[in-house]
């Protein structure tokens, strides 16, 4: 039986460290509030002009590819997960393909926010299992610092997020003791607007509410963005934090248990859980709910903040680099976020 396994993993964190106290120059917040509510001590911010979501993805990908013992020209498919792409379109996948001088292979962007990497991994897994591709590059990368509201108005969102990238190379294996055992994907669009960036977009709510009763009166072809949207800070992400928190602490344990049960395993069998680094309090709640020991859960949000689609591969890479993930050990990746979407992947390293 063919399964897919992670043959190489890499991460990239920008150099600039931004502490909670550094944020005080922009907004009314405190180190105490941020640490108490989220566990975050500091995060990394990309270079304002020289680094993009793609360039960080490339750095992580180079390491993953090298560790897999292959070259960029051996990659036969790219899946790039991000909510902060370099361009509205085209996606980051093609920009990475160009930057790494890869062959004219397929490049797919996944826009699933916090669960983006686990979704991307699941898609890659299907292509490997069916024998379609042999070396798939899966990347999660985010440059949040570029588009957040760094004023007191936006503090409930902007203190949480950080920049960075992670990447893996997936290859086929016939080793019975290794590889992705199963992946589990879910969504509930009822709460789509609870954690979202509405503009620019085609929903036209701004124009409906503020301007025109009759849609024929609305300006054709100029509704994507407006000066008022900028002036009214409507180009920033919106989050109802407590509502997201409440749902996350239910769905995280649920999707982890789904993966374990599907494979006839229990939480006690887990060597390491890598939860999406949304909030340390959420991860601690999940740990407690599943009855896991401290050494069974890996967290690094304290140092990088929430890096959305990049958080799972960054944490997995760091845990592996520290020797916390050994051959054939059981690892669960799990994520929950905007959409809502949530997902898990159970694998043997």
| Residue 82 interacts with ligand UT7 (CB under 6 A): yes or no | no
d(CA 23, CA 27): 7
306 tagged catalytic: yes
Which C-beta is closer to ligand UT7: that of 78 or that of 278?
278
Site string for ligand UT7, 215-254 (x = CB under 6 A): --------------------------xx-xx--x------
Instruction: Say which residues have a Cβ less than 8 Å from residue 221's Cβ, sequence separation at least 6.
Output: none
| Residue 155 interacts with ligand UT7 (CB under 6 A): yes or no | yes
d(CA 155, CA 308): 17
Site string for ligand UT7, 171-210 (x = CB under 6 A): ------------------------x---------------
Site string for ligand UT7, 96-135 (x = CB under 6 A): ------------------x---------------------
Longest dimension (CA), the chain: 64
Per DSSP, the three-state class of 140 is strand
Q: Which helix (H) or strand (E) holds 191?
A: none
| Active-site annotation holder among 114, 135, 279, 332 | 114
Please name which of 95, 56, 64, 18 lies closest in space to residue 304, comparing C-alpha atoms: 18
CB of 163 to ligand UT7, least distance (A): 14
Tokens of 256: 């982890």
Please name which of 178, 325, 346 lies closest in space to residue 266, comparing C-alpha atoms: 346
Residue whose Cβ sits closest to ligand UT7: 241
Instruction: Say which residues have a Cβ less than 8 Å from residue 327's Cβ, sequence separation at least 6.
Output: 178, 349
CB of 105 to ligand UT7, least distance (A): 30
Q: Phi-psi region for residue 149, left (φ > 0), alpha (ψ -120 to 50) or beta? A: beta
Q: Which stretch binds ligand UT7 (CB under 6 A): 45-53, 152-160, 176-184, 251-259?
A: 152-160
User: Rule CB under 6 A: which of 264-303 touch ligand UT7?
Assistant: 278-279, 282
Answer for which of 17, 18, 29, 35 binds ligand UT7 (CB under 6 A) is 29
The DSSP code sequence of 150-193 is -SGGGHHHHTTB--EEEEEEEEEE--TTSEEEEEEEEE-GGGGG
The answer to whether 11 and 166 are in contact (CB under 8 A) is: yes
114 tagged catalytic: yes
Q: Which helix (H) or strand (E) holds 7?
A: strand 3-12
| Active-site annotation holder among 276, 300, 317, 332 | 276
Token look-up 């490339």 returns 58
| Residue 159 interacts with ligand UT7 (CB under 6 A): yes or no | yes
| Residue 170 interacts with ligand UT7 (CB under 6 A): yes or no | no
The answer to whether 108 and 88 are in contact (CB under 8 A) is: no
By rule CB under 6 A, what count of residues binds ligand UT7? 21
Please identify every residue annotated as catalytic.
114, 276, 306
Site residues (vs ligand UT7, CB under 6 A): 29, 33-34, 37-38, 114, 155-156, 159-160, 195, 241-242, 244-245, 248, 278-279, 282, 306, 337
């Amino acid at each position: 039986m063919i399964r897919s396994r992670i043959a190489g993993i890499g991460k990239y964190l920008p150099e600039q460290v931004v502490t909670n106290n550094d944020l005080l120059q922009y907004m009314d917040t405190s180190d105490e509030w941020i640490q108490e509510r989220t566990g975050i001590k500091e995060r990394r911010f990309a270079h304002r002009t020289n680094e993009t979501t793609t360039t960080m993805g490339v750095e992580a990908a180079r390491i993953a590819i090298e560790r897999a013992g292959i070259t960029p020209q051996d990659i036969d498919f790219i899946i790039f997960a991000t909510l902060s792409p370099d361009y509205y379109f085209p996606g980051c996948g093609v920009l990475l393909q160009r930057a790494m001088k890869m062959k004219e292979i397929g490049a797919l962007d996944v826009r699933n926010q916090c669960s983006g990497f686990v979704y991307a991994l699941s898609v890659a897994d299907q292509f490997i299992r069916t024998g379609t591709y042999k070396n798939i590059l899966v990347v999660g990368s985010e440059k949040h610092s570029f588009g957040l509201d760094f004023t007191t108005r936006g503090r409930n969102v902007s203190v949480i997020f950080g920049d960075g990238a992670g990447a893996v190379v997936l290859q086929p294996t016939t080793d019975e003791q290794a590889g992705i055992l199963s992946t589990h994907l879910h969504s509930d669009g009822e709460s789509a607007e609870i954690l979202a960036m509405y503009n620019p977009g085609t929903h036209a709510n701004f124009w409906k509410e503020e301007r025109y009763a009759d849609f024929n009166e609305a300006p054709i072809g100029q509704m994507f963005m407006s000066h008022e949207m900028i002036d009214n800070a409507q180009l920033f992400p919106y989050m109802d934090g407590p509502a997201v928190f409440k749902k996350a602490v239910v769905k995280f344990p649920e999707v982890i248990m789904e993966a374990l049960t599907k494979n006839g395993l229990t939480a006690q069998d887990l060597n390491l859980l890598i939860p999406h680094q949304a909030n340390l309090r959420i991860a601690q709640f999940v740990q407690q709910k599943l009855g896991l020991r401290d050494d069974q859960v890996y967290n690094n949000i304290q140092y990088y903040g929430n890096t959305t689609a990049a958080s799972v591969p960054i944490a997995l890479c760091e845990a592996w680099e520290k020797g916390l993930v050994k051959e054939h050990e059981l690892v669960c990746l799990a994520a929950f976020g905007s959409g809502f979407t949530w997902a898990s992947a159970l694998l043997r390293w």
